[in-house]
């Protein structure tokens, strides 16, 4: 009996539960705010910059969705809408709970899109982290080609050796 009622009104129950969770989070973060200061900050803000920031954030999320969908493509088809929802929920969890929220995104997607297996979702997140790490290392390595320490910097001779090795295309002792 209870399962029939739950399955019949599942979407409404989920919506109410999420609404209550959102209210709880807003209350937890907003209870100690000085609302006069918030009002003053909002009044002084430049709305054009806020709109530009929102557009940039939405485009960045869209890029992440498309990238994650591309990682999923060899394993299983995934709906753009469901990947978008999982990404938004996942990043909201990261913003709320910190890095512990990182597991929410690969958990939510298989719940929303039943074609995606949980293992595939988690594997693609690991691959995504590997790509992110390689990108950061590459950016650091490219930066070493032009890095010039300031006069007050401590001994950074190891950077000069790294820069010289990068310019020559090999690292001494590792060839």
One digit per residue, pLDDT tens: the chain, 175 residues?
Answer: 566 766 777 778 888 988 898 889 888 888 888 889 989 998 999 999 999 999 999 999 999 999 999 999 999 999 999 999 999 999 988 888 888 888 999 999 999 899 999 999 999 999 999 999 999 999 988 887 777 666 665 666 666 666 666 666 555 554 4
CA separation for the pair 174, 146 (Å, rounded): 23
Going by the DSSP 8-state scheme, the letter that residue 147 receives in this structure is -
- Number of other CB atoms surrounding residue 116 within 10 Å: 23
pLDDT of 21 reads 86
CA distances from 156 to 49, 58, 164, 172 (A): 39, 40, 13, 18
pLDDT at 175: 42
Q: What is the CA radius of gyration of the chain?
A: 23
Q: How far is CA 13 from CA 7, 32, 83, in A?
A: 9, 30, 22
């Amino acid at each position: 009996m209870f399962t029939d009622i739950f399955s019949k009104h599942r979407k409404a129950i989920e919506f109410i539960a999420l609404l209550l969770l959102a209210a709880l989070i807003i209350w937890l973060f907003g209870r100690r705010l000085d609302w006069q200061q918030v009002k003053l900050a909002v009044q002084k803000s430049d709305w054009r910059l806020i709109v530009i920031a929102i557009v940039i954030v939405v485009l960045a999320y869209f890029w992440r969705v498309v990238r994650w969908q591309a990682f999923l493509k060899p394993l299983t088809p995934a709906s753009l809408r469901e990947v978008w929802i999982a990404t938004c929920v996942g990043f909201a969890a990261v913003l709320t709970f910190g890095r512990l929220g990182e597991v929410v995104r690969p958990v939510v997607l298989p719940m929303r899109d039943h074609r995606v297996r949980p293992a595939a979702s988690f594997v693609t997140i690991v691959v995504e982290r590997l790509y992110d790490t390689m990108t950061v290392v590459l950016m650091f390595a490219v930066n070493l080609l032009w890095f010039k320490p300031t006069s007050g910097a401590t001994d950074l001779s190891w950077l000069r050796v790294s820069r010289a090795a990068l310019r020559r295309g090999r690292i001494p002792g590792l060839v």
